[in-house]
Amino acid sequence: MAYANEKLKTKVMYLKKELYELIKTDESIFDFIQNSSLDGLWYWDLENPENEWMNAKFWTVLGYNPDDMPHLSAAWQGIIHQDDLKVAKENFTKHCKDPNHPYDQIVRYTHKNGSTVWIRCRGLAIRDEDGKPIRMLGAHQDVTELKKSEHALLKANEKVHESEEKYRAFYDNAPLSYQSLDENGCFIDINPMWLKTLGYQRSEVIGKWFGDFLHPDYVGHFRKNFPDFKIRGYVSHVQFKLRRKDDSFIHVAYEGCIGYTPDGKFKQTYCVFKEITELKQAEEVLKSRENLLNKIFDILPIGLWFADANGRLIRGNPAGVKIWGAEPTVSIEDYGVFKARHHPSGKEIEPDNWALAHTIRKGVTIGDEQLEIDAFDGQKKIILNYTAPVLDEQGNIQGAIVVNQDITARKKAEDALKAKMDELERFHKLMVGREITMVELKKEVNDLLNQLGKHRKYKIVE
């Protein structure tokens, strides 16, 4: 048995190696892992769905020796609660069809000692060039203690209800707007702050559907996501636009969780919101300014490029793309794709000697470099090149800008002008030489006439 397991592990080690290569080359994969509190990591071959690599912590959290567990998808499917497995499969199918649908749910596993381990399981489908899911990367987070805390909170709430006077005092004076919905999304409770914020009477709200108090643009969002909320068990910073009684609207952000009965069934939602209208208005102003800057960026008559803190070119404006004949978003290690020479010396620029490389590494500003470039469309051009760092308040490099100005036409005009000036100079010298020769001849004629006793014929001005 041990030999068979070892042979199988060796067979599917390509998944582990492939994952490591992805982490090296795909920042989104690394970010996904970093943003997840990992109590287990898994990588699934969707083209060969029986093969799934799980790291050691995946099994130790569940009480198993990793060396005893095969790298097969069936290994974990046998110890997950079957109701949760059904939910996980449904979310998997939806996520494969629509990348925007999150593969994210809390499921129950049976620990080797027989206890229940609550796991938040999140995943990301990795797709080929045609968008077809070919792999699945997932992360586990042990939320057992959180669930125990939830249970303890429910117990505490029961005690609060036993002391109605204390509970009501807290409830009525809470600084945040509180609401509770039933499984159909209808109000079963609200606090005075909720009524004060929105201007309604309690009788106008209780029993009504939450969607009736939403801006029309958000009704569909609620219909789609409320079932997911009931499955996931919590929400954080979910934004809606609520209708006040005077028909004005406010932006709000919700935090909430699901309350369960002692046997684990849905009971009601517990949610609070805070108004973020001013924040949204500020975001709109910022977005408007960003749009304006983007328009300016696009219509600038000179080339402008942005690079990140590592020197990767991330964007160029239309004028910049026209100058270079392409938009090469390359890293600092790949600057060799650019071909250019200092003008007029003709000295080639090495990949690590580009002005942008010096700006990123040393934080220096380099201005008015005159370069002859080989554009990606085959044209040779003469440009002025300027680079400057973008610094934060502490002086740390956040990125850099590159400015290019195509001066090919100007240089051609300058060269043509110089050629004409040289030609004029040669003509001038020729004419001056001819005048000197004529003066000498006139002098000789006058001398001969003088020797013959005749009057001089030419008046010469010295």
pLDDT at residue 168 in the model:
66
- Alpha-carbon distance values, 384 to 111, 136, 353, 405 (Å): 67, 48, 16, 5
pLDDT at residue 419 in the model:
75
Instruction: Tell me which residue of 120, 12, 141, 159 sits closest to 71, measured CA to CA.
Output: 12
Whether CATH 3.30.450.20 fits 2-142: yes
Which superfamily, per CATH, for 174-280?
A: PAS domain (3.30.450.20)
Give the whole-angstrom CA distance, residue 304 versus residue 351.
20
- Alpha-carbon distance values, 426 to 412, 413, 420, 423, 431 (Å): 21, 20, 10, 5, 9
pLDDT at residue 163 in the model:
62
Query: Which of 7-33 are b and which e, b meaning 16 or more Cβ less than 10 Å from the residue's Cβ?
Result: eebeebeebeeebeebeeeeeebeebe
Question: Where along the chain do the CATH 3.30.450.20 domains lie?
Answer: 2-142, 174-280, 301-406
CB 12 within 8 A of CB 53: yes
Helices and strands counted in the chain (H then E)? 14, 16
Query: Which of 289-302 are b and which e, b meaning 16 or more Cβ less than 10 Å from the residue's Cβ?
Result: eeeeeeeebeeeee
Give the whole-angstrom CA distance, residue 364 versus residue 390.
10
Rg (CA), the chain: 39
Give the whole-angstrom CA distance, residue 337 versus residue 200.
65
Q: pTM to 2 decimals?
A: 0.41
- Tokens 């910073």 locate to 237
Q: What is the CATH number of domain 301-406?
A: 3.30.450.20
Give the whole-angstrom CA distance, residue 412 versus residue 105.
66
Instruction: Tell me which residue of 116, 139, 115 sits closest to 58, measured CA to CA.
Output: 139
Instruction: Tell me which residue of 336, 324, 329 sits closest to 408, measured CA to CA.
Output: 324
Give the whole-angstrom CA distance, residue 274 versus residue 76.
41
Encoded tokens for 33: 């892992």
Give the phi and the psi of residue 391 in degrees, each rounded to 5.
-115, 150
Residue type, 293: L
In which element (H, E) is residue 388 found? strand 380-391
Instruction: Give me the count of residues in the chain.
Output: 462
pLDDT at residue 446 in the model:
76
pLDDT per residue, tens digit, the chain (462 aa), is: 555 566 666 667 888 888 878 878 887 776 676 555 589 999 999 999 999 999 989 999 999 999 999 999 999 999 999 999 999 999 999 999 999 999 999 999 999 999 999 999 999 999 999 999 999 999 999 999 989 988 888 888 777 666 656 656 666 777 889 999 999 999 999 999 999 999 999 999 999 999 999 999 999 999 999 999 999 999 999 999 999 999 999 999 999 999 999 888 999 999 999 999 988 888 888 888 888 888 888 888 999 999 999 999 999 999 999 999 999 999 999 999 999 999 999 999 999 999 999 999 999 999 889 999 999 999 999 999 999 999 999 999 999 999 999 999 888 877 776 777 777 677 767 766 666 667 777 777 777 667 767 677 667 766
